[in-house]
Structure 1
């Protein structure tokens, strides 16, 4: 599939999603695009050399690389971009199924609009339902569910729509199409984030650089949502904690002064109150898995806030930038 001059590099970061990855690569293997050359770059954060060798043998036209560790999605995407040779990057989750049409539509949108920093498309779950497509940057009016409900009409009116395209604040990292030019301009994905909010941050950096974020409404991919994260209680606790951590990191990266202080304080208070209530229920009703998860999460949240004060950083210990600054 790859030629000496690659047009589009499809970059996939994998972590223990072997079954989904196989389905994803099988779908890509069927795609033929006239005059547009593709390459596939798979970055494995699992560090399973045996499995990667098996995949490399099954898909000899694709490129497989082992990361140095489970360094997170942003780090894997940046490594994939380093290995890629295309003029355009399509960052794709391993638990997705993509066809020829969405690739062509996203490519045409980007190629015809230099000011378009990144584009995505609709995502359908395996049951045929559409995932939410309108997403808003975190701020006071969107940070909590009650605020989003109060400002719902105003928020949705702010989203510009045209024929077959809309312009949300940010697009999901499950499918992101952008030019190498724009990738280099914003210096890639922010490795402050280990998991979650890296796609929000990417979109925000594009907006801050006067670029646009777009979502195509006339084409879609299939997304078996959560195929690489929601496995068991321990994994669920880690991923839910990372959502909280990454929210704090995002606020640190994009707000200043009094507004920053208010937003961080509100998130801390909301998180602590919520987790104490649900965590105590989980202590007594530990036989209910969802409540037991909340008790585990309460302990992790308390530990995180203690370490955030001790280390003077909101970053996750798993973040590459946390490790670099130690």
Structure 2
């Protein structure tokens, strides 16, 4: 790992919460021979509270480890790492990614040559083969749910094909996954960093939306790839899964609140509430009957958590999760 306290080109920021097994592989993947750019690696531990950080500090002495004040969410961890970074550019990586010099260098070179491209990413190859979807579109009234989203894509197939036509191995999606985000510090400061309204999920879509609102573009390089063991950083057990899956639903409400206006906002929020309550109630009933099956039991927890969230939202008059830093 080639790094220096001065003139660092890229700061690689990784937010971790008890993903030590994946993090070890990720950090090892960053130990490549390199003479092209100077970089540092920063790991923000969101208060894992299991003392394993001490072992990692010894095994990876070249990495800067930062201890966050709590499990403050992905956006807060990213901002915390960025505040302590020295690089002109920032690469935000999930701990369950396996990076490589070629992909990092290509994103860096592209970002330098194209300053109007606010965010750069690359292909994400699944650890079990295949690639994650790259033709991502912003959430709108017609794409709130899986069925309506599929219908929307079908009815707009030709338009979307033209929109996502790959030119010179470059795709311009509406947004890219937060597991691989390359952005200049100048751009990050311009949009005031990651939005800490979100505890987890949709903060990446929000980031890209704000870059585009500032006349920047989102670019995905088709000739570069990073391996992503999707879900390895968050789906550790039933308890953890119930939290993360609940936050997916909550963060969708937060995104709508932040980016939908007027009548569209009200309609979208109402539709989402009704859909969540009906679907989660039906699945929760099945879960009660099959409580001995962990995945079915999870549906019961999700329904109860969403009921508590909606009651809390009414009392607080806010869509924010109680876990959100901006709700505190």
What is the TM-score normalised by the length of structure 1? 0.96
Structure 2 equivalent of residue 143 of structure 1: 144
Answer whether contact 2:169 2:223 (CA < 8 A) is retained: yes
Structure 2 equivalent of residue 41 of structure 1: 42
**Cα distance per residue 1:253-298 (max 9 Å; x no partner):** 0111101001111111111110111111111221232221111111
Following the alignment from structure 2 to structure 1, what is the Cα–Cα distance between the partners of residues 317 and 114? 42
Structure 1 equivalent of residue 193 of structure 2: 188
Following the alignment from structure 1 to structure 2, what is the Cα–Cα distance between the partners of residues 93 and 14? 8
Q: Measure how far apart 1:159 and its partner are.
A: 2.7
**Cα distance per residue 1:106-127 (max 9 Å; x no partner):** 0111111110000111111111
State whether structure 2 residue 213 is matched by structure 1 residue 211: no
Answer whether contact 1:14 1:42 (CA < 8 A) is retained: yes
| Partner SS for 1:188 | coil
Which runs of structure 2 are paired with 1:124-163 in the superposition (5 Å)? Answer: 124-153=125-154, 154=156, 156-157=160-161, 158-163=163-168
Q: Measure how far apart 1:51 and its partner are.
A: 2.2
Matching residue within 244, 248, 261 for 2:253: 248
In the superposition, relative to structure 1, how do residues 148 and 31 fare at CA in structure 2: closer, same or farther (>3 Å)?
A: farther
Structure 1 equivalent of residue 175 of structure 2: 170
| Partner SS for 2:70 | coil
RMSD, aligned CA: 1.3
Answer whether contact 1:90 1:175 (CA < 8 A) is retained: yes
**Cα distance per residue 1:286-319 (max 9 Å; x no partner):** 1232221111111111111000001111111111
Following the alignment from structure 1 to structure 2, what is the Cα–Cα distance between the partners of residues 49 and 292? 27
Q: Measure how far apart 1:48 and its partner are.
A: 3.9
What is the TM-score normalised by the length of structure 2? 0.95
Which runs of structure 2 are paired with 1:220-259 in the superposition (5 Å)? Answer: 220-259=225-264
Answer whether contact 1:31 1:99 (CA < 8 A) is retained: no
State whether structure 2 residue 275 is matched by structure 1 residue 270: yes
In the superposition, relative to structure 1, how do residues 167 and 178 fare at CA in structure 2: closer, same or farther (>3 Å)?
A: same
Following the alignment from structure 2 to structure 1, what is the Cα–Cα distance between the partners of residues 119 and 284? 39
Structure 1 equivalent of residue 55 of structure 2: 54
Structure 2 equivalent of residue 26 of structure 1: 28
